[in-house]
Structure 1
């Protein structure tokens, strides 16, 4: 397990340029769908979400929208649930077919949908969602309905996924807030000729789906329910039912307390008519394989910041590389000149073996035969000088060669954590590679989470193998107990946390809550698929693999550790070392957090930049761990096993602090449950990240320690 850290800045920059140029949107020809003229196009409704809340709600669960009629549209009855993958369910999607009729190339000036009568509770719910800035997500040909924007100079057009449920303004008379619901939607579907033979046969592909919502009052509609003027300015439909004080007083004649208007059911309702318009427009400037770029054009100005993040990462990594090269040069080529044989430290006693003194006298082995008195005197002088040299050479980290591989405390917990960390390393590496080549892209809705879950389950075999082998190296015998701990400790923590949080979300009737069937499915994957894989890997790692060999033997009596300086103490060294990897990734973290917490659609797309920063981050963790471990060993502290994990994962602490800063400065999240979800999931994500980088730190420290103590071992 030797490590080579000679990585040039030029090589890293070349990798950065190559990976960042990858278009992680589509693989050309992947799941393309063509439509013929007049062919029905299904429109699916999904959910509503807001950047002020972590709670999402399914469209048909809203009490103020048209209920599905059950009629067939594009071959499917309305209200039918669409099959979802695990990632879609986990992200709160609830996709269902709708009653909207769309046919390729057929414009519709106006089509009436329904009139929904909303009671006071429904009106109150609508007002609250509008107040919180909720937007709707509808889907056509796997494209989310988008709000279209144009830059000030009108040179660029871009999309923002989703469109508002309604809007809020203030009465010019009373200055009180008023809420208007968007009850007319204009769909603009942009298409172009399909590539290849499909296009020659008249096939068309959809390259854009724009939604323009509008609020139109009942009085501005004709007898069929359609607006009298679809494109003109009209008064909006205020979502409001006037209070009925007389009714309240009649129901509570002898009470000084009158309940809120929304808490009673007096039969009052508000009629909300819904209608829509459809327009098809040809768009030759957008290729089907690049249609998702419209959702990211507004982020082009962030490319310069991405490059700044890479430059910052490379500079920090380059400086650390120079320090690591100096350390390796000193330990391998300078400090190790005086070699130590196995057994030279027995029960704390140093056995001297230098053969040349400072005075230049020859060793006893090379002294020519002479008088016994001369030989005896020369030998005495050289022995004294030799002892002085040996004591001078065997100092610092070399004094620990009989203790450095002593098994750590709580080794029974260390091995399962290393196994789970290797599981995360495999999953994260595979996800980044699949994202860079374009397999995981925005068109694969929920694919990142679904594939990640599958990789995590499959990597259970690696988790069991590495856990068992480390456990065997520590001298463990009960490998089945270690297997159960590996399979249950970290995955159990994840499942338990998600289950407890899910109880709070269930109470809010949010689609973010996982259905009971999904929880049972996750439990099945964990206990009946991952557990056997962990068992298989553990069996092979324990019975068919040898423990890792150490270059030096461990003495029977532990060496006393001297008093440590403040910078070598656990908490201080972890915090200081964690700052360096955090400085590498904090710029890119801003984009990731914006995608996860502000843009609930979750369309993060610059996986090329993310991959480069991740590689540099891992290299930085490796280098920081080497430096910190070397300093610790020089301070004659051989408890490096757990310390290496904490050093490698130290940046997770600063990432969580960054989450707290982002919550209070950048987000407008409101409500106890939303705040609890943010901090809980942030802490869980930081724990996963910390275990991943901590495992990298452990492997690095182990390889480094074996390397330097193998270098001082006598031939």
Structure 2
């Protein structure tokens, strides 16, 4: 029967893992759009393909900018699609473009506009200088067709093709003749101290025809482009077949005219299905093999910890309890019936069973119990939010195609999960013997969210000053405050009401009135070394996955491996629990009963390693320049570290809380 149960558990877990790893990107609310040629369109079939432009960003700067900030061609009838909360928080600013595309209507070297810059006009000088800054920092365009990124695909080493969901404004050849960024792709980009503007794009749109499948029109399955730098002698009759590159001198000595053009071609490909149209982008990102290595590395750590915990639970504790029961039976024969358990007169039993010697102090309320209960309440809220968000993401509900959905889901869940935060905080605070319930519920509702909001607001001020598109509008900030104080805070009060209404958590043993003196501890059982060691193994499970997450945030790469992320989340959960249980057991055996805070800080110290890794990533992987970008990087990193600290600390605390209650309830005092 046990084998069948174990096999069933493995089968269910494998099925869930398989479903999470599947690329089910279009489950919710993303219906395909059909396109038809001019004259045959209708409500169910569009003829015009909208090309939208998104914000421009760079790996050398944290500051993104709207398309309109740069002096590009603009749509005279500019429209903006509706944006969700997540898009606004991420700073996405999508708007219509001046590039007009009709289905199956090829365009050859069409002029969009011409921008003239006169050296005597200060406004022109400022606009051209800002454009040069964008090329120097390698700012990237991000265009969208049919809710799909327009990609620039090019060959990389080992004969592989990489599809980048963006393309640069231009590039720079430095004063010493060194070609930077995209300037290495063309040998004609060789003039020193010169910028080359990519003012022409060849767009190729691939579609799947539905004539043979019973549905009308066609569906777009790919959109790629190739940027080019071409100097047009005549802007009314441009020639896009070749010519000299569009040069912008580093020193503005003569007037400059930049003509922007584009070409569009269509290609039919019925082998690519609409549901898998993102595959050509995702396959070019070589993450899968490294992700499996990360999973196997994490599983080895989990198996090691599981073996250690099993050895303690099944052998050491079982032997301790059996020996205790034998000694206790002998005591009951020799001593009066009122003699309490745990008074073991045998020195060898005391040496091997040190954890039983502190039974009268192990549930003594911790110092700063108010702060600990507040942290645990917030950590519970973050844990539930993270679990639900990742589970929905790995099922495809929060795919990259549904922009901003991940952040929107996280914020909404956090707001609605105020009740468990208030309940857990109040219940534990009451267990600790606290009586200031008003202070407890206010701190639970305001302390950690207030720190995050204050940091976020300061970062937003910097973005406002720099004129970045990532700056959150004032109305959105008011909406966030309304969600916080109008929904989350009242729900926290509701949870705290039920938490204080219930009785305190019953402890399996009584607490002595006089605290027991803690003996001299060895180096490894002292608080700081134990806490520092406790965060190493959990961090070892996540550091590879963390690299890809940081890449998606700061290097603007696309993250889609939510199935792997969900599995790593489960592994992190197990690792934090087992590492904390192991260290908690060793500390109790050393007769150190201060485990409340230590259990929280042991796994919570993983956040310190996260911060150290973020610092290493900043100096080794990024090319960020400027004080504002540096402050923004570390400001947002501190928010991540605080959230991760509460999350991992809560996992370790409740694992240790369960463990301590379990072992002391087995040898419960009568």
TM-score (norm 1): 0.83
Q: Which residue of 2 aligns with 1:50?
A: 58
Structure 1 distance, partners of 2:544, 2:421, is 32
In the alignment, what sits opposite 1:276? 262
CA contact (8 A) 1:403 1:555 kept: yes
Q: Distance in 2 between matches of 1:269 and 1:206?
A: 42
Question: Are 1:162 and 2:166 counterparts?
Answer: yes
The equivalent of 1:213 in structure 2 is 227
Counterpart in 1 of 2:35? Answer: 35
Checking the alignment, whether the CA contact within 8 Å between 2:581 and 2:659 is kept in structure 1 is yes
Change in Cα spacing, 1:516 to 1:212, as seen in structure 2 (3 Å) is same
Change over 3 Å in CA distance of 1:106–1:319 after alignment to 2: same
Q: Determine helix, strand or coil for the equivalent of 1:406.
A: coil
Greater shift in the superposed pair: 279-288 or 437-446: 279-288
1:238 corresponds, among 208, 228, 247, to 247
Alignment match of 1:122 (pick from 127, 140, 154): 127
Is 1:65 the counterpart of 2:72? The answer is yes
- The SS at the match of 1:35 is coil
The alpha carbon displacement at 1:239 in A equals 2.4
Flag the 1:353–1:208 CA change in 2: closer, same or farther, 3 A.
Answer: closer
Q: Secondary structure at the match of 1:299?
A: coil
Deviation (angstroms), 1:202? 2.8
**C-alpha distance in 2 between matches for 1:193 and 1:158:** 26
Separation in 2, partners of 1:298, 1:149: 10
Aligned-residue offset at 1:562: 1.7
Query: Per-residue deviation at 1:546?
Result: 2.6
Q: 1:55-81, CA deviations, whole angstroms, 9 ceiling, x for partnerless residues?
A: 10000111x2123322xxxxxxx2x23
1:94 aligns with 2:106: no
C-alpha distance in 2, partners of 1:643/1:11?
A: 37
Displacement of 1:353 = 8.4
Displacement of 1:481:
2.2
2:634 corresponds in structure 1 to: 679
Distance 1:168 1:387 in 2: 80
**What corresponds to 1:188 in structure 2?**
204
Give distance in 2, aligned partners of 1:445 and 1:7. Answer: 39
Contact preservation (8 Å) 2:327, 2:344: no
The 2-side partners of 1:195 and 1:449 are apart by 39
Within the candidate set 271, 287, 292, 1:285 is matched to 271
Contact 1:191–1:282, Cα closer than 8 Å, also in 2: yes
- What is the CA distance between 1:23 and its match in structure 2? 1.6
- C-alpha deviation, 1:694, in angstroms: 0.5
Q: CA–CA distance in 2 between the matches of 1:584 and 1:609?
A: 12
Separation in 2 of the partners of 1:669 and 1:242?
24
Deviates more, 1:97-106 or 1:487-496: 97-106
Greater mean deviation of Cα atoms: 700-709 or 107-116: 107-116
In 1: Cα distance, 2:544 partner to 2:471 partner: 31
1:174–1:708 CA distance, 2 compared to 1 (3 A)? closer
Q: Structure 1 24/681 Cα, relative in aligned 2: closer, same or farther at 3 Å?
A: farther
Report the Cα distance in structure 2 between the residues aligned to 1:563 and 1:11, rounded to whole angstroms. Answer: 49
For 2:442 and 2:210, how far apart are their aligned partners in 1?
54
Q: 1:280: how far off?
A: 1.5
Identify unmatched segments of 5+ residues in structure 2.
1-5, 39-46, 118-123, 178-188
Residue of structure 1 equivalent to 2:528: 571
Q: Closer, same or farther in 2 for the Cα pair 1:241/1:429, shift >3 Å?
A: closer
Aligned match of 1:334: 319
CA distance in 1, matches of 2:220, 2:190: 47
CA displacement 1:187-213 (0-9 Å, x = unmatched): 2111112499xx635321111111222
Shift of the alpha carbon at 1:336? 2.1
What is residue 657 of structure 2 aligned with on the other side?
A: 702
SS in 1 for 2:116: strand
Cα distance in 1, alignment partners of residues 215 and 293 from structure 2: 48
Deviation at 1:479, TM superposition (A): 2.4
Map 1:237-386 → 2, pairs under 5 A: 237-240=246-249, 243=252, 270-300=256-286, 302-330=287-315, 332-337=317-322, 354-356=328-330, 363=333
Q: How do 1:460-609 and structure 2 match up within 5 A? A: 460-543=418-501, 545-598=502-555, 600=556, 602-609=557-564
**Which of 639, 643, 647 pairs up with 2:594?**
639
Say if 2:141 is the partner of 1:136.
Answer: yes
Aligned length: 633
Separation (CA, whole Å) in 2 of partners of 1:202 and 1:556? 81
For structure 1, the 5+ residue unaligned runs are 1-5, 71-77, 245-267, 341-351, 366-378
Distance in structure 2 (CA, Å) of the matches to 1:425 and 1:559: 35
Check whether the contact 1:54–1:674 (CA below 8 A) recurs between aligned residues.
yes
Name the SS of the counterpart of 2:668 in structure 1.
Answer: coil
Task: Write out aligned runs for 1:629-668 (5 A).
Answer: 629-668=584-623
Counterparts of 2:602 and 2:573, CA distance in 1 = 13
User: 1:513 & 1:123 partners in 2: Cα distance?
Assistant: 23
1:73 aligned residue:
none
Paired residues of 1:241 and 1:270 also in contact (CA < 8 A): no
Superimposed CA distance per residue, residues 450-495 of structure 1 (whole angstroms, 9 cap, x where no aligned partner): 1111111111111111111111211223323211110101111110
The secondary structure found in structure 2 opposite 1:210 is strand
Q: Contact conserved, 1:37 with 1:104, CA < 8 A, in 2?
A: yes
Larger Rg: 1
- 2:375 is matched with 417
Question: Structure 1: how far apart are the matches of 2:34 and 2:506?
Answer: 61
Measure, in 2, the Cα distance between the counterparts of 1:630 and 1:655: 26
Contact 2:173 2:193 in 1 (8 A): yes
SS at match of 1:548: coil
Of stretches 455-464 and 272-281 in structure 1, the one that deviates more from structure 2 is: 272-281
SS in 1 for 2:102: coil
Pick closer, same or farther for the CA change 1:714–1:571 going to 2, 3 Å. Answer: closer
Shift in CA distance, 630/549, structure 1 to aligned 2, threshold 3 Å: same
Counterpart CA distance in 2 for 1:158 and 1:100 is 25
Displacement of 1:168 after TM fit? 2.2
